Amino acid sequence: MKETPRQGIARSYQKWLALLVLLCFMAATVFLWVTQTQLSEKSAVDLMRLNISDVRQDISDASDENLLTLTHQIAAEVTSLATVNSSMLKVLSYRFDVAEINLIDETGIIIATTHDDFLNYDMASGTQSAEFLVLLDGETEFAQSYQPTSHDPTLYRKYGGVALESGGFLQVGYDFQRYRRDVNSVLRGVTRNRHVGEGGCIIIADSNWNIVSDRHGNEWEQLSITGLQIDPALTPPNHCFQSTVYGVDSYCMYIEAEGYYAVAVMPQHEAVLSRNVSVGTTLLVELVVFAALFVLVYILTKRLIVNNLEKINGSLSQISSGNLEAVVDVRTHREFSTLSDDINATVDTLKRYISDAEARIDAELEFARTIQYSSLPSVFPPFPSRRDFDIWAGMYTAKEVGGDFYDFYLLNEETLAFLVADVSGKGIPAAMFMMSAKSVLKSLAESGMPIEEVFIQANEKLCEGNDTGMFLTAWMGFLNTTTGHLRFVNAGHNPPVIRRNNEDFTYLKSRSGLPLAGMEGVRYRPHELQLAPGDTIFLYTDGVTESSNIQEAFYGEGRLLDVLNENACSGAEALCGAVKTDLDAFVGDAEQFDDITLLSVTFHGKPAPLELVLDATVENIETVTDFVTAQLEEAGCPMRVQMQLCVAIDELFGNIARYAYPNGIGQATVQLLLSKNPGMAEITFIDQGIPFNPLTLAEPDTTLSAEERSIGGLGIHLVKKTMDDVIYVYREDRNILTIRKRF
């Protein structure tokens, strides 16, 4: 499974949203900052420009007024004169301490002047002088700014003119020194009460950057004392620049006016105050707006997407944990509706596939179960002719194929092997292991070795290549059906229940070995027990005692003992049936989780046969035949079977009479065992003559013609063909031949 990212969508969204909002916020702040800075600078510049132009006007007004007053006084003097000539004007110029006086007639020609070379100069011929022509057009006075003259551009003068009543006008010009003297005193007051903004000021300096007027009282000092250093070549007039003035970082601007420099100074902190306030306020508002936006988007995301996704995830985790009946049903939006439908459709498809697969697996398991069942002895009664014991076994598998099994078989005429085993685990692997274990045990047991050796060798064989680590518990017994002697070995299996001498059933506790296939090299000890006729031993697997009902209570060993005791006198089949019925009643509707296997053996022993001991002579055949037929008659044996038995007696006893004792007459014993239901006759011929197994005689050829036929071997052939069993053993110096015939 892939590693699950720890971060949810909401958290991711939150992160990116916060980042975006922060970026927007910062961009807006920077933009605002820049624009507000520009705005504040502009307003500072505007303010300075306004103030500075006022100052320029003040300077101009002051100098104009000064000059025009002087000009009017001179004009009054001139008007009072009868005639005016240049010399008279020179007198006046000395008197009034002006640099130049010109009298211009109605046509704009200088008709009298303090400077002779200006005589007859046409005012219209220079741009500077031409400005004065307005006085001929009705203006009464005109003052010109301080500037180079038209006549001599190196010469700076300030001119004023007054129209004369007699026509023409009088022009007065004064030079720098006179102009300064007059104007400086006026300008001293100009800056005193003038503020640029709150803390800014105006400084007026002359053309040599000597302070003329300054609120701080630094008149006649160099401008640099304030901290300002202005080089007109680098810093053009009428442009804003920054400098430290009187220790304060300030915006500054200067202009030239009438030969003076007016410098406006505005502290920067004042200029940016409005910007800071405006940016601060806006930031606060933005902060609120963005926070609200962030919260809104987050909530919407959470409600519309994350919550729905969580609902879908809830259903999906139910589905993935096995509840395929869970349905995804989120219908708030079209997209979720489609998603829900798609998931449901997928789950439906999955369900269909699963049920198909289940059906297939069920069929295969059923097949496996059938094979498993068919490998167990299932025909009951398994040994119908045997009266010396009664055996019945049953296995009831749980839904899954399991690893329980039982088995029983005759190792020889009088040894019954029977076992019950339980393989660890369930399913096909357990079933396969069970088949292997069953055949290993059977082949070892049938090879004739003692029971403990069977387990020791089976353990070795089953340990080989047991990579899956499976093992099985098993209880196996070899019962001598004649003597009732039982030898058994327990490999970790539940103790069987035994009933002896008509007493109650009890658990047969014995020292148990390790389960088979658990570990190599394990030794198993045999246990021995002598059974009396009527004793019963009941084997089972833990599926019996550990069956649980709906209340999850175990069936338990006590209940098993009870039901066995209640049915103590039943036959093997009835006993197993009673246990199963009781178990079913206890379990009720609860599911069967484990296989249930039952096996019951009751030892009856052989009844004492009717015995006839007599000389082995041909004459005695009739005695034997009469003895047997009398008993058969009483047992209700059909005539046909009686005749077959008579033929067999004639052949077998006849053989003993003729061949067993070649050196005289010996004795023979004839034993007869009869049972009525089902009818069965067992006759055993015992002699102490020469060992001879008639069953080894060659079969006669029954197809030859009369001339070719010999008679040898026909008798035994007849017996074998007509009897159900013919068994020969040589034991304790005796030929023992047994025939059985069911009827």
Partner 1 sequence: MKLTMNKTGASLEAKVAERLDTTTAPQFEKELSAQLEGVTELILDFAELSYVSSAGLRVLLSTQKVMNKQGKMILRHVNENIMEVFEITGFVDILTIEE
Q: How many CA atoms lie within 13 A of 317 on its CB side?
A: 5
Structure tokens given for 702: 């029954």
Structure tokens given for 304: 């519309």
Q: Rounded to the nearest whole angstrom, what is the least distance from the CB of residue 714 to partner 1 in the complex? A: 4
695 binds partner 1 (CB under 8 A): no
Q: Rounded to the nearest whole angstrom, what is the least distance from the CB of residue 567 to partner 1 in the complex? A: 45
Cβ distance to partner 1 smaller for residue 362 or 622: 622
Among 372, 397, 547, 644, binds partner 1 (CB under 8 A): 644
715 binds partner 1 (CB under 8 A): yes
Cβ distance to partner 1 smaller for residue 677 or 705: 705
CB 641: neighbour CB atoms within 10 A? 16
425 binds partner 1 (CB under 8 A): no
Q: Rounded to the nearest whole angstrom, what is the least distance from the CB of residue 651 to partner 1 in the complex? A: 6
* Gap between the Cα atoms of 468 and 470, Å rounded: 6
Q: Rounded to the nearest whole angstrom, what is the least distance from the CB of residue 729 to partner 1 in the complex? A: 23
Count of residues touching partner 1 (by CB under 8 A): 29
Among 186, 714, 729, 736, binds partner 1 (CB under 8 A): 714
704 binds partner 1 (CB under 8 A): yes
Q: Rounded to the nearest whole angstrom, what is the least distance from the CB of residue 667 to partner 1 in the complex? A: 18
Q: Rounded to the nearest whole angstrom, what is the least distance from the CB of residue 386 to partner 1 in the complex? A: 27
703 binds partner 1 (CB under 8 A): yes
Q: Rounded to the nearest whole angstrom, what is the least distance from the CB of residue 619 to partner 1 in the complex? A: 7
42 binds partner 1 (CB under 8 A): no
Residues in Cβ contact with 179 at an 8 Å cutoff, skipping those fewer than 6 apart: 63, 67, 146, 158, 259
253 binds partner 1 (CB under 8 A): no
Cβ distance to partner 1 smaller for residue 494 or 722: 722
Q: Rounded to the nearest whole angstrom, what is the least distance from the CB of residue 647 to partner 1 in the complex? A: 5
640 binds partner 1 (CB under 8 A): yes
Q: Rounded to the nearest whole angstrom, what is the least distance from the CB of residue 640 to partner 1 in the complex? A: 6
SS3 content of the chain, % helix, strand, coil (to 5): 45, 25, 35
* Gap between the Cα atoms of 42 and 35, Å rounded: 10
Residues in Cβ contact with 739 at an 8 Å cutoff, skipping those fewer than 6 apart: 645, 648, 652, 682, 683, 684, 719, 723, 725, 726, 727
Cβ distance to partner 1 smaller for residue 614 or 647: 647
Q: Is 387 helix (H, G, I), strand (E, B) or coil?
A: coil
Q: Rounded to the nearest whole angstrom, what is the least distance from the CB of residue 597 to partner 1 in the complex? A: 44
Tell me the window of 245-253, 259-267, 576-584, 636-644 that interacts with partner 1 (CB under 8 A): 636-644
Residue 226: closest CA among 194, 197, 202, 259: 202
Crossing angle for the helix pair 427-446 and 451-463, to the nearest 10 degrees: 140
Q: Rounded to the nearest whole angstrom, what is the least distance from the CB of residue 670 to partner 1 in the complex? A: 15
3-state secondary structure 289-348: HHHHHHHHHHHHHHHHHHHHHHHHHHHHHHHHCCCCCCCCCCCCCHHHHHHHHHHHHHHH
**Long-range residue pairs from 104-109, CB within 8 A, at least 24 positions apart, any chain:** 104/132, 104/168, 104/169, 104/170, 104/171, 105/167, 105/168, 106/136, 106/167, 106/168, 108/133, 108/136
Cβ proximity of 44 and 266 under 8 Å: yes
Tell me the window of 30-38, 319-327, 472-480, 699-707 that interacts with partner 1 (CB under 8 A): 699-707
Residue tagged 């800014």 (tokens): 200
Q: How many CA atoms lie within 13 A of 197 on its CB side?
A: 25
* Gap between the Cα atoms of 528 and 11, Å rounded: 76
Cβ proximity of 684 and 738 under 8 Å: yes
722 binds partner 1 (CB under 8 A): yes
Among 165, 464, 591, 619, binds partner 1 (CB under 8 A): 619
618 binds partner 1 (CB under 8 A): yes
698 binds partner 1 (CB under 8 A): no
Q: Label residue 349 exposed, middle or buried (CB < 10 Å: 0-12, 13-18, 19+).
A: exposed
Residue 191, Ramachandran bin (φ over 0: left; ψ between -120 and 50: alpha; else beta): alpha
689 binds partner 1 (CB under 8 A): no
**Binding residues for partner 1 restricted to 166-185, rule: CB under 8 A:** none
Tell me the window of 237-245, 404-412, 608-616, 648-656 that interacts with partner 1 (CB under 8 A): 648-656
Crossing angle for the helix pair 334-374 and 427-446, to the nearest 10 degrees: 10
Among 650, 674, 739, 741, binds partner 1 (CB under 8 A): 650
Among 76, 357, 532, 643, binds partner 1 (CB under 8 A): 643
Q: Rounded to the nearest whole angstrom, what is the least distance from the CB of residue 471 to partner 1 in the complex? A: 53
232 DSSP β-pair partners:
none
614 binds partner 1 (CB under 8 A): no
Give residues in contact with partner 1 (CB under 8 A).
618-619, 621-622, 640, 643-644, 646-647, 650-651, 654, 657, 700-707, 709, 711, 714-715, 717-718, 721-722
